[in-house]
Amino acid sequence: MFGPGIGQDRPMRLTRNPRGLLFTGGVGLASLLTFIEVSTPGLSYWALVLALYWLGLAITWSVLLGPGAGRRGWARWMFVPLALVLGTVLLVTVDAPLHARFALSESSLERYARSVRDDDDGRDRWRGLYRVGYTEKIPGGAQFMVTSFTWGWKSYGFAYIPDRVPGPDEVWYEHLQGPWYIWTDGP
């Protein structure tokens, strides 16, 4: 019923190269961590560790592609990590992780922003998929931090300002969408 080598006498494998499977998993983990890192405004200090991890993966990739005994070119499994890397670069380039995480959190963030009072202590609570730190009521809305200090000693967050557009002298606001702005605080 089965041809030679097919059937019960041979276990099914995802790849004949376990190092390839480990490498593909490592690239998948790097992609996931990259999406998490870039889904908040600003880059944290973890971005440096992540960059070193990607560098290690690039070095490993070059070793896996290097000349070796019996190597005849690219194995089929090598296209999976390549597709993961290209997909990650594309999604990060178009800012998809930030927009996706924000879209999933927008209703919760808006509900919170509308309820902020002058004496609000909304520190360290999850609002949607963001952990909100410092919160402040501002004229026409509210602003709150979602990152701690990042590169350049700045903190980033969101500002909800539905009643007005920030003036040109308010350079710490960058329009995100609708009444939402990315708020930068720091030197």
Express each pLDDT in 28-62 by its tens digit: 999 999 999 999 888 888 888 999 999 999 998 88
Annotated domain spans of the chain: 18-65+74-94, 104-185
Structure-token pair, residue 44: 């944290």
CA distance 11 to 7: 8
% of the chain with per-residue pLDDT over 90:
39
pLDDT tens column, 64-102: 777 665 566 667 778 889 999 999 999 999 999 999 999
Cα 96 to Cα 104: distance, rounded to the nearest angstrom:
12
Whole-model pTM over 0.85: no
Give the three-class secondary structure for 5.
coil
Type of residue numbered 12: M
Question: How many H helices and E strands in the chain?
Answer: 4, 7
The dihedral formed by the CA atoms of 93, 96, 99 and 105, expressed in degrees to the nearest 10: -140
